[in-house]
Amino acid sequence: MIRETRVMLEFADDPAQKTLEGYRRNGGYEAFARALKEMSPDQVTEEVLKSGLRGRGGAGFPCGRKWQFVPKGKEKPKYICVNADESEPGTCKDRQIMERDPHQMLEGTLLAAYAIGAQTAYIYIRGEYPHSIRATEEAIKEARAAGLIGKNILGSGFDCDVWVHPGAGAYICGEETALLTSLEGNRGYPRIKPPFPAVEGLWRSPTIVNNVETLACVTHILRRGADWFRGLGCEGSTGTRLFCLSGHVKHPGVYELECGKFTLRELLTDLGGGTLSGRPIKGVMPGGSSFPVLTADELDVRFDVESVAKTGSSLGSGAIMVFDDSVSAVDVALNIAEFYSHESCGQCTPCREGSDWVRQMLRLFQQREAKAGDLETLWDVTTKMDGTTICALAEALVWPVQSYVKKFRAEFEAAASVRGGGMSATVNVTIDGQSVAVPAGLNLIEAAAHVGKSVPHYCYHPRLSVVGNCRICLCEVEGMGKLQIGCNTTVREGMAFHTENERVRGARSGVMELLLINHPLDCPICDQAGECKLQDYAVDHGSGVTRFEFEKARKPKNVSWGDKVVFDSERCILCTRCVRFLDEVAETDEVGIDLRGGKATLIVKGDGHLTSPYQMNVIDLCPVGALTSKDFRFKSRVWFMKFTDTVCTSCARGCNVTAGARDDRLMRMVPRANAQVNDHWMCDEGRLHYAFVNDAERITSPRVGATARLSPAIARAAHHLEGRARPASPSCSSPRPS
């Protein structure tokens, strides 16, 4: 049975430990005082080197050796920078130290400054950690008042000041040189190495960048000795480490453990309590999202730096993320790629261009639109990105993605074979009593469609993440007690489910009743009429009678979201399709949810006006008429219009569209799905480009002339050809050909 060995978190549960008085009561700053009085800077470095302490930020470089790289001269000032950005997904350990025992980090920072001769230290904390910032600033204030920071500290002649610098939340600023660039007030770009920061860092001066946990360990090494520290853990992974356990486990949290004294499986079982669902573990990311995944067959590895490295992965930042067999490996790989593509600083070519390419390819696999050969292309592109960039962000994308392809290849091949027309991996399921083989990886909505059955849904969209808000896609899966939402339940071999039995119909009727109790009865004036899923599902699944006898909720109506979109909050069912589109596809993250409970409503962030050039896609996505087009508003009922499939002429992309016309006038253009051209979307310019067709001044035949008085081109050409010999071949030319 694994038990924690608490060193850094020994007093974390004592609220007084955040104060200088409480920290000193437990031996705080004794090591710093003794070092100033009895040890030279080199002796401090030697003690840390002897301890075997490796950096806890992710790279695992020996801390003492890094300090030894700092030049001994005094030609330039030296700096200590504490990397408290903690931007690796799944990592939440450093904040435990900063918020519960900040003086521990501060003492380690001062010891590091003394060791390298730095007179200034900066603690770079991500802006999303306001509690960490406040706790650290308060600790600095107390230490400065006590003479532990500032001039002639404790009468030793050593000067050092410490400052907190909030970051802006960019992942890349967790990379040490990008952090330094940001600290200087510039865009957080990584720098070419060499020179390394220890030689030329902040303001081109020698700088040591250490992680919060690393410096907390320094405090205990100098307090209790290097030999004591080496007695914890194992050779190559000395001391204790903080591990952040998250994902599909019963007991997530931050645990302090001795490396090498347990296996990963023991950690997940003894401390994590196994999976939350009781389902088998499918994969574990042992050191954050940046490193290769381990499968269920690899969990018996001893959990230390060298042992995990032999599997091809890494302990990284100590973030252990677990997922069970209900999760698609393709989805996880895409999630990782989307994160790193978004966080790429854009400085160097392989990362800037490659990360987005990988993201788009993985989205094809997720949507089962990949073709034969795409998997080989994906592997080749990621291989060429590996080791070719300024910093390791590209590798942070490449390594995990390649590991998912390698270890779960069948899932990727199944996705590619669906579009390629080959034999796809299938599972045998029973849908409403009908036995059928469907492609593996489908959800219940998609599987039902294979046998011609429609499962109602509002929030689900095949190109957006799954949220399960609306609850109308409930189905009954045999062997599972509760009804399951069709959008987030994946078919598996032998599954039997029902889409329209009495229990399912009752649940859907209940959902429809709840959706309609506050919905306005304004269908006669709603532009969505005739295309409204709320109307359709109310007929198919509603009761036709309301039992709600109270006053309907009142919310804002006719809210302008800029010059193109109008929002009616009373109609909105908070399916969040618009929110997800703007976040995941348009990548502008402009719309969010305000207030809580029954008062919850959508809002546009900032000045209330949408800015995305793709914003009008939210109108098509809205299933209930809460978002309507200012251009099409009140123009026509759709049943009076004629529709023609065509191609947008606004640019060379050739987006597939459907044109709607009435009385020989174009009324609107909406996108038509084509995964190879425009997917489900189109830009606003193309959508509104049709207006020229209805213009009375539109030129409908060839004409020539540079003034407003144009003459027909064909008539002029015919006039010039009169009298020419018949064998002659006429040609037309222009000084301004297009």
Domain boundaries, the chain: 15-230, 237-327, 330-420, 426-516, 523-629, 639-694
Q: What band does 723 get if pLDDT is binned at 50, 70 and 90?
A: low
Taking the domain 523-629, which CATH number applies?
Answer: 3.30.70.20
The amino acid sitting at 240 is: T
Measured CA to CA, the distance from residue 343 to residue 7 in angstroms comes to 34
Work out the average pLDDT over 262-266: 94
Q: How many CB atoms lie within 10 A of CB 151?
A: 11
pLDDT in tens, 663-673: 989 999 999 99
Whole-angstrom CA distances from 554 to 460, 469, 592, 601 are 26, 21, 19, 11
What would the two tokens of residue 66 be? 């890094």
If you average pLDDT over residues 8-16, what whole number do you get? 95
pLDDT for the residue 726: 60
pLDDT at 226: 95
Grade residue 420 by pLDDT with cuts at 50, 70 and 90.
Answer: very low
Helices of type H across 629-672: none
pLDDT tops 90 at residue 718:
no
DSSP state of 429: E
Report, as an integer, the average pLDDT of 496-505: 94
Place of tokens 């700088």: 207
Neighbours of 595 (CB within 10 A): 10
Taking residues 82-101, what's their average pLDDT? 94
Residues 680 and 463: beta-carbon distance below 8 Å = yes
pLDDT band at 655 (very low <50, low <70, confident <90, very high): very high
Q: Is the pLDDT of residue 369 over 90?
A: no
Spatial separation of the C-alpha atoms in residues 730 and 721, rounded to whole Å = 8
Look at 40-44, 130-134, 192-196, 606-610 and tell me which has the smallest mean pLDDT: 192-196
Question: Taking residues 509-522, what's their average pLDDT?
Answer: 84
Angle, CA 52 vertex, CA 47 and CA 56 arms, to 5°: 110
Beta strands in 130-239 (DSSP E): 161-167, 207-211, 233-234, 237-238
pLDDT band of 422, cuts 50, 70, 90: very low
pLDDT at 372 over 60: yes
The CA–CA distances, whole Å, from 91 to 85, 252, 288, 416 equal 10, 12, 7, 33
The predicted structure's pLDDT at residue 429: 95
What per-residue confidence (pLDDT) applies to 662? Answer: 94
Please give the average per-residue pLDDT across 15-41, as a whole number: 96
pLDDT at 415: 75
Strand pairing class (79-84; 207-211): parallel
Q: If you classify domain 330-420 with CATH, what class do you get?
A: mainly alpha
Assess whether pLDDT exceeds 70 at residue 452: yes
For 639-694, CATH number? 2.20.25.90
Q: Which CATH class is domain 15-230?
A: alpha beta
Q: For position 602, what pLDDT does the model report?
A: 94
Write down how long the chain is.
Answer: 738
- What pLDDT, in 10s, does the model give residues 585-621? 999 999 999 988 888 899 999 999 999 999 999 999 9
- The pLDDT of residue 449 is 93
Amino acid at 673: A
Residue 520 reports pLDDT greater than 90 = no
Give the fold, CATH level 3, of 237-327: Ubiquitin-like (UB roll) (3.10.20)
Whether 237-327 and 426-516 share one fold: the answer is: yes
Tell me the backbone φ, ψ of residue 54, rounded to 5 degrees.
Answer: -110, 150
Where b means 16+ CB within 10 Å and e means fewer, 662-693 reads eeeebbbbbbbeeeeebbbbbbbebbbbbeee
- What is the Cα–Cα distance from 54 to 261, expressed in whole angstroms? 17
Predicted pLDDT at 605 = 94
Q: What is the third-level CATH fold of 426-516?
A: Ubiquitin-like (UB roll) (3.10.20)
Beta partners for residue 642, in sequence order: 661
Give the closest residue to 282 by CA, choosing from 334, 246, 329, 236.
329
Question: DSSP 3-state assignment of 252?
Answer: coil
Judged by DSSP in three states, 661 sits in strand
User: Does pLDDT of 738 surpass 60?
Assistant: no
pLDDT for 708 beyond 70: no
Percent of the chain with pLDDT over 90: 69
**355 three-class SS:** helix
Nearest to 473 by CA among 691, 625, 368, 623: 623
Average pLDDT over residues 382-406: 93
Average pLDDT, the chain: 90
33-87 residue pLDDT tens: 999 999 999 999 999 999 999 988 778 899 999 999 999 888 899 999 999 999 8
